[in-house]
Structure 1
């Protein structure tokens, strides 16, 4: 089942006392009430829906639980509205919409919202583009001003220079996310074969770079004028607002924006393949991959829910058929099934990565997958198949209550695609209504004896592994040379106002934010408990931190903690892996166990009504692990294959090589998952001994956020965990030294890489909460710690070298680094390094500017409202309190530091910590191309290997 369905946010029904007629009489001119949600039983998101005379749809959701507001503008346009030869325009405009408008200066959008203490982003998919921000509620008018300005006053600010820079940024994004990533081009290759030539889903959302290269600035302006009118948009406002206060503001800023051309719904034409199409691709990967895709229905089709449940049965976890037939018996490292749906079409996809030790090629894997489909026909659908999906729907719906952004996103999406904002109840109902016969029917309709696309991705030079010879080639088009679209071809719309839009609205007083009230207890076995009651949702979230991790290991046993954590996620003495997964799924609960440097983290998520049963399963996992030989063998092989697969990822190579340089001679230099040499030598006895020696409760920290009262939670925790006793040995952590030579470029070869990964840095401060580490992070904020930092504006926005560049202090209690990093175009590697060094040196020598200091203070101190909104956010906040033995008042101490830190203090910290002569430079890229170029920088260049 699709995760998007489970992540939809909802709210419990709230009785609305105002009636439509009363609201109607008080509406501003040009605004009409369309509908408001009716009081009803069950779960839904209360809303009021309006429409402006220019066609803009407005939805308001009132939620006064936190002093926040989330604003979303969704345009019903994505890559599916593009034309052949003009792909990527919708995604391109996602970038352009952040580049300033008529009354908002260049790069000001990010600065204004960051300074307001908010967060923001935009996303594009095939069917819609949305822009959103979460800010303290006093900033809401400013957000409406910003969004209206780029809806109605953008085009005059779209200059040729901005167009060219953002075109380069999009190329960098494609290089980083697609061209330089293992399996990165799989999706677009499958789409070419799955959909007819010219179908709106047959090209990738990010587009083809040849199309963008042909385009000129007038082409993208024309695309904006066609699709970005208010009548093709939904504005959704949710949070601590009142509708009657929002309506005049919305009418003021959006009401005068002229309508755009009318938009009609795109046709939903069923896709039918004339034959099974085999395609293949060589890639820089370690493991081959088989990917089989069937066309099915479309989003919200009557068969979608049953197809989602079918995908769960076939490949949705430890109880699925593909897991049993491929992963559990070690024929594959990974296998799964998904059924993603879009507005016009869905696809049913099965994939597997064979385990090299199995000796299976992709043809063998295909036969096993097809045999699994036949097995499903014989097995049928069980009661548990349906029961666990219904539990997931309920749990996912309730957990969606936890953020106002989730609720707003759901309202906006449902209105955009269905014309009905609150559909969560309908969605739950349609999944609950699915029967066993429905699942069998959709299998017989869409999968059995139907044609599919079969994609083989193989390591370079290993075409003998493909499932079957290619029998399909996409149509090749010649779209000619550069575009000749002229400015006079555009039909520009202009708004007329009776106020001065150039004046930025002034925010009110920053809302007071209450720190979460906490309580403490001790389980009597050395586990400290810090809890908080949050009554917004009937849920419990729990984080248990056990003091053992990779820092406790020796080099020859590197990876033992991670392998132990993986085994704790498997079978126990009383439950098989499949049985444990099923029991948790039927409760709508999850338990995940992961290993870090200093702790093993156990995260538990449960509906509060199911907390007792969930804690029983937690105790079983912690105290009675199965440690079965077959589980160990499978996970060891998966770890080894994962390490080799990661070695094809340039970001992983850079991080691993950089850590080796920073922490040479210590376990901190080794990845948490271990190395090929260490993991291959680990035994099941090693894991058992590690668990017996170190996995003890004493010194543990347990953080819990629940709607239940303290006494209830504490009693449940003691009932299940107090009998667990023991204390592990303490250790002295050694984090080694930076033995790499400062002022040296270290080059790690990644042949033919289209991008280079750059790391520039040195050893630095250990972590503290209110001391020098925290103050140094404040100093770095405007240099490399935010989107509008000097480094990012230079390398991304001015030069177009990268999708993003940054610098930060990173540390734990034992060690830390200062690191500047980016993935840049290969041909910009040398100048990117030069720009990094110049920016850091200039900041160190000349210091922070007055306006930068003011920006940092506002951005950090006004963001408190966002820090404690959800239970998970509270868990992170409270975890710091336990780990560093703090009181909640540390937040006020930090705020005081931000408010009082002087320009002189900031500059002194820069002088102390930003000496580039103390830093090393690491580059992961194409050595044959870069070696000579890097030497021109004047640093010694040393080639290294992993």
Structure 2
């Protein structure tokens, strides 16, 4: 695989466009006798399984670098089955995708597709409430579901011994869901969806942009004119029978694709699929959706006010459809206009300080795509939204004059190529591609063709697409204005939202529904057994040291020709003076600007042509330089990384721009209730005398006070003298990698001392700290205390085992209470976090505003009960099973391996620390849980921080016997009651 994949850097992919396939109706074409024999074997095997029809087998041949091998089958009931075997890790990934999203909802019944995603996790005829989450979590797996305009998918990644049980679970909710759907479950999940909307849309700065934009862009009734989450008034006007009707219409096996990837036996998997899915009756026939046609006759201007720090302009135009011939040229245009530091918008708006950020996007969906430009003006630049609109339009004119260069196309092509390679690093990534291609095009084998359409894009194609869809074409121009600032929109509104014309609601009874029943010759109520858990081994690890003394910890990964590297520099916010908070983050942001030999734009262009990324950032204790690249391009990528690290230009213009971006980001962050609650919690626990207790980006006052000389001095005195370490995962061997690290030969670490940790403050545990956020749809709750320091297998590790039943999983007591039983929140959790000098316990949730007091009551009840009685036998067994089995998923991708190695390097661990953890886990008994719970879960030792609408929630907070201390975003008291 490696030798053929290395040809990617030459962009020599056109020959692969012939697709290494394919045949239908049991007539596979294979290019070698070995493949022909395998095809015959597949067909023979499938014929032995009643109700299973072999369709095709796809293999990877020479030059077919992006082909994902698979076998495709169909059941008699119309279910498509795709199998991709990958035996590199002892895990399987199962995906069931239904070809239904919000675009197939009825007028007045928006949000049903997303609502049903929630209902599908709440039990079926043979699976108890919350058992779906419980079984997968206990197995050490991960799971989720997602909904968009055009499809809904459900997926899980589990150890390979769990496959039969996963198929049983997915089949039960496909064929046997409705007997378990009750009005009570409907009400609970309706509340959960409302909380999700409140947390992610109504309570988020700019959260309503998508909804406002689509209402203006599409005509009333167009399937994309509403958001996937829907209108809450639609969910309020319906009942459980409407939801059942939606399921019966769209959730048949003939509207679904089951894709299995990973370490499994093909024949066994097929027999399980036939057993559990084969008897599920077909649903109504489903045709391909049609894209409605519409026109926008003139520019539509609209605006609204929001609780934001900066105004925003968004300009949007309808374009083509997914995989249309014009999609790729428009994507290239998007890159030229507004993607990254090489774009025209960066040059015309960001580089010169007129905007904090400006970018373009081209989002494609099944029935339509949109080309979008957005920009946030920089207050110090003096540009209004009208100015930004004018400059954006002039940018398109500039593009028209300059045309499209070969470099423009090459940069974009390489990004597409590299992205495809990186997507092959995980089984879930490969399965997702197969499932998506099958769902929308009935052909899983489109990866190579997908790449090829970008390979063949020409400058003429890009210009033609621009003229067809954008040049002189009217669109939607949305202005988002900060409340109370009296700023003007781009232009006065000439379009206003007209309330929807909804059909009269006709309630359904169960007699109106056409139920489908399956007949089986086995008992579905009997839970399938699981085989022995796979034996897990940590990846082979090697240690080395570069000639200049940088410690290196590495692992080899031969599944893809990629290299992931992280240079850790032992410097962080902990080292900053209090009057210059944010200095570390600002310094490392400057390392991502121009070097003495090249501009930021030139460096960005080089990275794009390599298909590589180099990111730089800083936290409390470490700064890091992270590299991701195709291995063929490692040397060139490390040269760029080294230039950023060792030769920063520290230009005054760059500094002014970056500093201003920090100031605007700080202002924006103060408008985000969740981020604000986290920052204040941290400050109160660790105290303002410790730099690390503050936000990494500093405060407006401290950033304003930092000079370029401060940055230069910090770089020379602190950064260049800090200890550096490297973690790396690559398909290259150790000796070759060490020679590549000569790029870092200039690093000469000194003996910079770590900053002193000042005494932590006494906690005001008799208080509730309240930060007022007028009109907040939700309240952010944080309940916290200081706790133990980090350790690998000691008290910290055991405390998180103790916490698992309380707040460490979806099935935890806190989440089940606040989300599933009460409907107060979209999610609630608790846990311990620590490093080698500070640690804390935190319980948290975003709850609907009118449930703030009751939610806090339930938090306290759960803490008290768990502290008093600890866990049950069943809860502890559940936690142990989940924690020990999830190791099967821990080392799959280079990113996961990097995280594992980084942890080892940070805390100076040997690989056998996982053995110590297993021993500690196995030895944990109920008495240990109770001891740790009594030691760390006393609510009277905890502070409470709440960010919400004071006028709405204050009365609910007065009955807890705690003082109410009103504070501002910096944690400073405003008033006391």
Listed one character per residue, the Cα deviations across residues 167-224 of structure 1 (whole Å, up to 9, x for unaligned) are 0000000000000001100101110111111000000100000000001000000000
Listed one character per residue, the Cα deviations across residues 723-749 of structure 1 (whole Å, up to 9, x for unaligned) are 321315112341542434113111111
Listed one character per residue, the Cα deviations across residues 848-892 of structure 1 (whole Å, up to 9, x for unaligned) are 100001000100001111000001100110111111111111111
- Distance in 1 (CA, whole Å) between partners of 2:172 and 2:424 is 31
- Distance in 1 (CA, whole Å) between partners of 2:872 and 2:962 is 30
Kept in 1: contact 2:437–2:446 (CA 8 A):
yes
Alignment partner of 1:671 is 2:695: yes
1:25 to 16, 33, 44: 44
- Worse overlay, 354-363 or 801-810: 354-363
Could you say which residue in structure 1 is the equivalent of 2:776? 753
Could you say which residue in structure 2 is the equivalent of 1:939? 962
Alignment partner of 1:338 is 2:361: yes
4+ runs deviating over 6 angstroms: 10-15
Could you say which residue in structure 2 is the equivalent of 1:540? 563
Kept in 1: contact 2:59–2:68 (CA 8 A):
no
- Distance in 1 (CA, whole Å) between partners of 2:74 and 2:956 is 58
1:42 to 64, 69, 79: 64
Structure 1 residue 17: Cα displacement: 5.6
Could you say which residue in structure 1 is the equivalent of 2:408? 385
Classify the secondary structure of the residue corresponding to 2:272: helix
Kept in 1: contact 2:722–2:752 (CA 8 A):
no
Classify the secondary structure of the residue corresponding to 1:340: strand
Matches within 5 A, 1:505-654: 505-654=528-677
1:892 to 869, 893, 915: 915
Could you say which residue in structure 2 is the equivalent of 1:709? 733
Kept in 1: contact 2:110–2:228 (CA 8 A):
yes
Listed one character per residue, the Cα deviations across residues 318-338 of structure 1 (whole Å, up to 9, x for unaligned) are 010000000000000000000
Structure 1 residue 771: Cα displacement: 1.0
- Distance in 2 (CA, whole Å) between partners of 1:223 and 1:89 is 7
Alignment partner of 1:781 is 2:821: no
Listed one character per residue, the Cα deviations across residues 674-693 of structure 1 (whole Å, up to 9, x for unaligned) are 00000001011100000001
Could you say which residue in structure 1 is the equivalent of 2:752? 729
Structure 1 residue 242: Cα displacement: 2.6
Structure 1 residue 669: Cα displacement: 2.3
Alignment partner of 1:203 is 2:226: yes
- Distance in 1 (CA, whole Å) between partners of 2:718 and 2:838 is 22
Unaligned runs of 5+ in 1: 1-9
Alignment partner of 1:142 is 2:165: yes
Could you say which residue in structure 2 is the equivalent of 1:4? none
Kept in 1: contact 2:556–2:729 (CA 8 A):
yes
Kept in 2: contact 1:215–1:483 (CA 8 A):
no
Kept in 1: contact 2:768–2:946 (CA 8 A):
yes
- Distance in 2 (CA, whole Å) between partners of 1:217 and 1:615 is 58
Structure 1 residues 810 and 381, CA, compared in 2 at 3 Å: closer, same or farther? same
- Distance in 2 (CA, whole Å) between partners of 1:712 and 1:184 is 48
Alignment partner of 1:55 is 2:74: no
- Worse overlay, 694-703 or 140-149: 694-703
Structure 1 residue 481: Cα displacement: 7.6
- Distance in 2 (CA, whole Å) between partners of 1:395 and 1:16 is 29
Kept in 2: contact 1:71–1:143 (CA 8 A):
yes
RMSD: 1.5
- Distance in 2 (CA, whole Å) between partners of 1:826 and 1:771 is 39
Classify the secondary structure of the residue corresponding to 1:685: helix
Kept in 2: contact 1:87–1:205 (CA 8 A):
yes
Kept in 2: contact 1:292–1:349 (CA 8 A):
yes
- Distance in 2 (CA, whole Å) between partners of 1:873 and 1:864 is 11
Unaligned runs of 5+ in 2: 1-16, 22-30, 970-977
Kept in 2: contact 1:695–1:728 (CA 8 A):
no
Kept in 2: contact 1:57–1:234 (CA 8 A):
yes
Structure 1 residues 837 and 16, CA, compared in 2 at 3 Å: closer, same or farther? farther
Classify the secondary structure of the residue corresponding to 2:960: coil
Classify the secondary structure of the residue corresponding to 2:368: coil
Classify the secondary structure of the residue corresponding to 1:863: helix
Matches within 5 A, 1:64-463: 64-463=87-486
Could you say which residue in structure 2 is the equivalent of 1:5? none
Alignment partner of 1:868 is 2:887: no
- Distance in 2 (CA, whole Å) between partners of 1:886 and 1:668 is 24
TM-score (norm 1): 0.97
- Distance in 2 (CA, whole Å) between partners of 1:667 and 1:725 is 26
- Distance in 2 (CA, whole Å) between partners of 1:777 and 1:910 is 10
Could you say which residue in structure 1 is the equivalent of 2:710? 686
TM-score (norm 2): 0.94
Matches within 5 A, 1:775-924: 775-924=798-947
Structure 1 residue 271: Cα displacement: 3.8
Structure 1 residues 940 and 480, CA, compared in 2 at 3 Å: closer, same or farther? farther
Kept in 2: contact 1:331–1:358 (CA 8 A):
yes
Structure 1 residue 594: Cα displacement: 0.5
- Distance in 1 (CA, whole Å) between partners of 2:758 and 2:624 is 21
Kept in 2: contact 1:546–1:697 (CA 8 A):
no
